[in-house]
Amino acid sequence: MLAGGVHALFLLGTTGEAPSLSYRLRQEIVQRACRQVQGRVPVLVGITDTAFVESVRMARYAAEAGAQGVVLAPPYYFPAGQEELLEYLQHLTPELPLPLYIYNMPSHTKLVFEPDTVRRALDIPGLAGLKDSSGNMVYFHRLQRLLAGRPEFTLLVGPEELLGEAVMLGGHGGVNGGANLFPRLYVTLYEAAVAGARDRVEELHAVVMAISDTIYSTGRHGSSFMKGLKCALALEGICEDFMAEPFHRFRDAERRRIGGYLEEIKQLLRRVGLPG
Amino acid sequence: MLAGGVHALFLLGTTGEAPSLSYRLRQEIVQRACRQVQGRVPVLVGITDTAFVESVRMARYAAEAGAQGVVLAPPYYFPAGQEELLEYLQHLTPELPLPLYIYNMPSHTKLVFEPDTVRRALDIPGLAGLKDSSGNMVYFHRLQRLLAGRPEFTLLVGPEELLGEAVMLGGHGGVNGGANLFPRLYVTLYEAAVAGARDRVEELHAVVMAISDTIYSTGRHGSSFMKGLKCALALEGICEDFMAEPFHRFRDAERRRIGGYLEEIKQLLRRVGLPG
Amino acid sequence: MLAGGVHALFLLGTTGEAPSLSYRLRQEIVQRACRQVQGRVPVLVGITDTAFVESVRMARYAAEAGAQGVVLAPPYYFPAGQEELLEYLQHLTPELPLPLYIYNMPSHTKLVFEPDTVRRALDIPGLAGLKDSSGNMVYFHRLQRLLAGRPEFTLLVGPEELLGEAVMLGGHGGVNGGANLFPRLYVTLYEAAVAGARDRVEELHAVVMAISDTIYSTGRHGSSFMKGLKCALALEGICEDFMAEPFHRFRDAERRRIGGYLEEIKQLLRRVGLPG
Amino acid sequence: MLAGGVHALFLLGTTGEAPSLSYRLRQEIVQRACRQVQGRVPVLVGITDTAFVESVRMARYAAEAGAQGVVLAPPYYFPAGQEELLEYLQHLTPELPLPLYIYNMPSHTKLVFEPDTVRRALDIPGLAGLKDSSGNMVYFHRLQRLLAGRPEFTLLVGPEELLGEAVMLGGHGGVNGGANLFPRLYVTLYEAAVAGARDRVEELHAVVMAISDTIYSTGRHGSSFMKGLKCALALEGICEDFMAEPFHRFRDAERRRIGGYLEEIKQLLRRVGLPG
């Protein structure tokens, strides 16, 4: 990913399967990644947890390991109200040794950081940004409007299918799982969008959609994105495709389909001038 | 709206409160609108109905009145499966005297036209396009990909907050309720997006978001969009703000707030070179 | 059904596929049923409609045809707030020539009549009862508590799987689709529950669950209840199993399965002393 | 609770706020409770966790501390499919040193153990029962039917508002949060339901509903049940009403309301012959 030009790393997020890993393993990932990166790019660490104390503990661990920020989705077992969500941020943020990025992920947490809650949270010292994985661009644009006077607050988009438009219309970047596989594609798309090069954005976005419609859409469940991505990473020799419970790697039939898709995608990448 | 440059009209949609109107009134609207327009732009007529027969009847009425197309969301009382939805389209479309546009509106119908259903529906003679009001741009981009070989099939976006990006990334246009109020704004935004003029899109989009965050966000309920829009139309002297049951026009307090917002929006419009 | 002892009829409800029928056909059903019943039991007529005027029209038609009451779910296209729902009842009920029964059916209307809304609606002259098809017995018991001082207000349960407990714990009865097929079963279960004969309730309830798990659970979609019931009715020679769009009758394979289930159920019925 | 006659204890469930507690505190609760109970009733321990390894670890801890069973809701961050849920049970159960009770809690986990999944899970050695907190009695009755041949498999209901009917119709008992406050009430209701004493069930159930409508319904959020219960426990001098993040105890105004409700409930309890 560093060779591919990504501007930062986010460890222990959703694609990283963080909630499914033991705490020991989560810590090991943070430590080994920070050691490897050696400060070349900022490292953000997910500290989402249903238990307040465990979030603080992980944030402290991340700071000691040399990370630059932490990322937090709300506690996701009990359904909280917006007022409670705000108080939670107000209570937690002062305990954190690193800048905090909010992670809006309603499909997994059952809870949206409503724009008005974000607006009220902007006063909290230490709050540095927000990653929106809702997939709802109306919501994203609402946040942009209320952040108009806060250019140092970083607004990032989660789904890579929305990276092009989010950045063309003023968003600051993306945290896109596909960059584990083809970092250069997403970095180039980001740069084209910053430059307002609409035609270039459109052709790169088409490749992103091709990946989304093939590699991420093999298999029946909500987990097909993660399974497809991991399978492709394994086929590329980047990492094992072992998955934490309750999920399992694709079997041979799906693996062969992913292999075929990978070849198609690489052709598309070459056609837009990127290393396949 | 014609003076504002809109390229077509969609009668009896959601903003038009069609399901809340008596059948007699629905017919009167079609007849009077077609007579007024006199073919200057295409007129599309909503024929969404829980009863198959009533949809067909309204489509015939629209054809006789001189409309150019009909628009159909799925029957919205019984939750149908995708297979049933496809069969429904296969059975209904041959009965229609006008080209059919699908209306994807899951928040109101509880049902998405899944991409694979759209793909299979493309064979049906008479199917001319789709309006997506899901607000889900990942879905919209999925549709674009499967429509790649069908340039004559029209893909339109519902929420005006998404018009800029939808058109910049290849969508064909929008069916935007706000064009009842400020048609010139949406037409200009559309044209800038077609031209790939990113900076112009961004500044016009900002005005669209300002309208969305003020006029459409006054009041607590899901109906605040319609109430705010109608109230603004009344304040501008364009039409009465009477609403069909179960809704009611805004009272004085909200009306005053909308009045203030209108002035702000007009200033923003003038700042981007549009008539306020 | 009259021979089976049912205490009233509800025409044009969900099982009756009312929203899928043309208005002409809905009227014909009301007229022919009232003529056939000749006052032997009360006839209630569904007047649910997205258009206020059409609900009133159908209620007037029902009164003229000789019905005793009307049943109303909220308008189901636009999502209304509770305040709007209450106002809707306040505006509509005075226009109705017959007593009104509220129909709580959130799976199809996206809207619950919240207990507090029901409490505030109790003042409306003409409101006679409520049929709860939510399947949520905590909600049902909440309504019972707030209706404690209103014994003349009729509280009925929709899902037949809940008839036994609803009536044993003080509910007034059920409006159960299965009574189209085996009216005697549901009437006997109701009577046992009124009498507090727990063991008898338990054995009859077990037959109801057997029907629910077999005849109603053949096929993949939400419509399997209606398809299975209609298919069984056709196999019994009671009526055709034609279904209105967007649904279709079961094909041969499912029909054979339903036939087998019917034999099993009849055995169960005979075992509990009922005509199979 | 033991003095009130409860037949077993469930530690670290939803009312116990388990997911919000640090792991150290969870262990302390298990150890201290087991030491206090000294085998007088079975102690079940919640081991729900998003990480497989942490569930196993907690189960081992519970066994060492002297508990009799463990209770497991599915991992609740990633949305799993039914097939994955079944495999998860198949992989996890053999690792557990104690019998496993499934915890069906879709409002918090986004996932239902569908009846067919439960049916297929019945083969897993070590599976001892299921607690259903869905509030859906049709689902509960479906489970009863498929468990007909498995009388040793324990089926319990979560919401106390449904205890009466669940047990009258053959369910084995309840795991009811209110038994922290008035254990005698729920034990007596259970016994009346087992005995089929319908009138007694009805009058005790009415008190349960009164508690539900008052103490549990103060405050606006989904957490009002837990806040009201804890507040009442504090007013009764049973425990502190401190709550783990993201929640907070009621303030004075709500506390006074709960105090008033408590007096009303105690009157109702005395009226049905129970210690107030």
Inform me whether the pLDDT recorded for A253 exceeds 90: yes
Predicted local distance difference test score (pLDDT) of residue C276: 74
Predicted local distance difference test score (pLDDT) of residue A219: 81
Strands of the sheet containing A69-72, edge to edge, are: A9-11, A43-46, A69-72, A100-104, A127-132, A154-157, A173-174
- Interchain CB distance below 8 Å, C19 and B74: no
Residue with tokens 């009045």: B259
Predicted confidence band of residue A228 (pLDDT cuts 50, 70, 90): very high
Predicted local distance difference test score (pLDDT) of residue D222: 75
More confidently predicted of B276 and C159: C159
The contacts of residue D263 (CB under 8 Å, 6+ apart) are none
Mean pLDDT value across residues D163-167: 98
Token representation of residue B30 = 């079609």
Q: How far is D173 from chain C (nearest CA, A)?
A: 16
Q: Which of C51, C76, C221 comes nearest B77 by C-beta?
A: C76
Predicted local distance difference test score (pLDDT) of residue A36: 97
Size of interface B-C (CB pairs under 8 A): 126
The span from the CA of D144 to the CA of C108, in Å, is 27
Inform me whether the pLDDT recorded for B106 exceeds 90: yes
Cβ–Cβ < 8 Å for A147, A155? yes
Give percent above pLDDT 90 in chain B. 97
- Interchain CB distance below 8 Å, A145 and B205: no
Please give the helix or strand (H or E) that residue C58 lies within, else none: helix C52-65
Give percent above pLDDT 70 in chain B. 100
Inform me whether the pLDDT recorded for B276 exceeds 80: no
Domains and CATH numbers, chain A: 1-158 (3.20.20.70), 183-276 (no CATH)
Whether B contacts D, i.e. 3 or more CB pairs less than 8 A apart, is no
Q: Which amino acid, one-letter code, is at A141? A: H
Partners of C40 in the β-ladder: none
Q: How far is D185 from chain C (nearest CA, A)?
A: 17
Mean pLDDT value across residues C178-197: 98
Predicted confidence band of residue B220 (pLDDT cuts 50, 70, 90): confident
Residues of A with CB under 8 A from a CB of D: 14, 17, 19-23, 50-54, 74-81, 84-85, 87-88, 91-92, 107-110, 220-223, 244-248
Cβ–Cβ < 8 Å for A106, A137? no
Predicted local distance difference test score (pLDDT) of residue C195: 98
Cβ–Cβ < 8 Å for D7, D41? yes
- Interchain CB distance below 8 Å, B245 and C81: no
Q: How far is A195 from chain B (nearest CA, A)?
A: 9
- Interchain CB distance below 8 Å, A198 and B198: yes
- Interchain CB distance below 8 Å, A141 and B135: no
Predicted local distance difference test score (pLDDT) of residue D220: 76
Predicted local distance difference test score (pLDDT) of residue B223: 87
Predicted local distance difference test score (pLDDT) of residue A229: 97
Residues of B with CB under 8 A from a CB of C: 14, 17, 19-23, 50-54, 74-81, 84-85, 87-88, 91-92, 107-110, 220-223, 244-248
- Interchain CB distance below 8 Å, C138 and D142: no
Q: Which of D145, D159, D213 comes nearest C213 by C-beta?
A: D145
Residues of C with CB under 8 A from a CB of D: 135-138, 141-142, 144-145, 159, 161-162, 164-165, 168-170, 196, 198-199, 201-202, 205-206, 209-210, 212-213
- Interchain CB distance below 8 Å, A22 and D53: yes
Residues of chain B with C-beta less than 8 angstroms from the C-beta of C12: none
Residues of chain D with C-beta less than 8 angstroms from the C-beta of A222: 78-81
Predicted local distance difference test score (pLDDT) of residue C127: 98
pLDDT tens digits, D11-34: 999 999 999 999 999 999 999 999
φ and ψ at residue D238, rounded to 5 degrees? -85, -45
Mean pLDDT value across residues B25-34: 98
Token representation of residue A156 = 């990032």
Token representation of residue A221 = 């469940």
pLDDT tens digits, C17-63: 999 999 999 999 999 999 999 999 999 999 999 999 999 999 999 99
Inform me whether the pLDDT recorded for A222 exceeds 80: no
Inform me whether the pLDDT recorded for C222 exceeds 90: no
Residues of C with CB under 8 A from a CB of B: 14, 17, 19-23, 50-54, 74-81, 84-85, 87-88, 91-92, 107-110, 220-223, 244-248
Predicted local distance difference test score (pLDDT) of residue B205: 98
Q: How far is B146 from chain C (nearest CA, A)?
A: 25
- Interchain CB distance below 8 Å, C162 and D196: no
Q: Which of C21, C85, C245 comes nearest B88 by C-beta?
A: C245
Predicted local distance difference test score (pLDDT) of residue B234: 98
Burial class (CB in 10 A: 0-12, 13-18, 19+), A252: exposed
Residues of chain A with C-beta less than 8 angstroms from the C-beta of B162: 137-138
Predicted local distance difference test score (pLDDT) of residue A184: 98
Mean pLDDT value across residues C238-267: 96
- Interchain CB distance below 8 Å, C209 and D144: yes
Considering only the C-alpha atoms of chain A, give the largest distance between any 2 of them, rounded to a whole number of Å. 52
Which residue in A110, A245, A251 has the most chain D C-beta atoms within 10 A of its own C-beta, making it the best mutation to test that interface? A245
Inform me whether the pLDDT recorded for A205 exceeds 90: yes
Mean pLDDT value across residues A144-170: 97
Nearest CA in chain C to D207: C145
The span from the CA of A78 to the CA of A80, in Å, is 6
pLDDT tens digits, A60-110: 999 999 999 999 999 999 999 999 999 999 999 999 999 999 999 999 999
Predicted local distance difference test score (pLDDT) of residue D192: 98
Inform me whether the pLDDT recorded for D221 exceeds 80: no
Q: What is the DSSP letter of C48?
A: -
pLDDT tens digits, B2-14: 999 999 999 999 9
pLDDT tens digits, D93-102: 999 999 999 9
What ipTM was estimated for this complex?
0.97
Residue-wise over C225-257: b if at least 16 C-beta within 10 A, else e?
A: bbbbbbbbebbeeeeebebbbbbbebeeebbeb
Whether C contacts A, i.e. 3 or more CB pairs less than 8 A apart, is no
Residues of chain D with C-beta less than 8 angstroms from the C-beta of A19: 50-51, 75, 77-78
Inform me whether the pLDDT recorded for A239 exceeds 80: yes
The rounded mean pLDDT for chain A is 97
pLDDT tens digits, C132-163: 999 999 999 999 999 999 999 999 999 999 99
Residues of chain D with C-beta less than 8 angstroms from the C-beta of C202: 168-170
- Interchain CB distance below 8 Å, B161 and A145: no
Predicted local distance difference test score (pLDDT) of residue C260: 98
Q: Which of D80, D221, D248 comes nearest A246 by C-beta?
A: D80
Residues of chain A with C-beta less than 8 angstroms from the C-beta of B189: none
Angle at B165 between CA B164 and CA B168, to 5 degrees: 85
DSSP E strands, chain B: 9-11, 43-46, 69-72, 100-104, 127-132, 154-157, 173-174
Inform me whether the pLDDT recorded for C172 exceeds 80: yes
User: Computed from CA positions of residues A191, A195, A196, A201, in that sequence, does the dihedral angle turn out positive or negative?
Assistant: negative
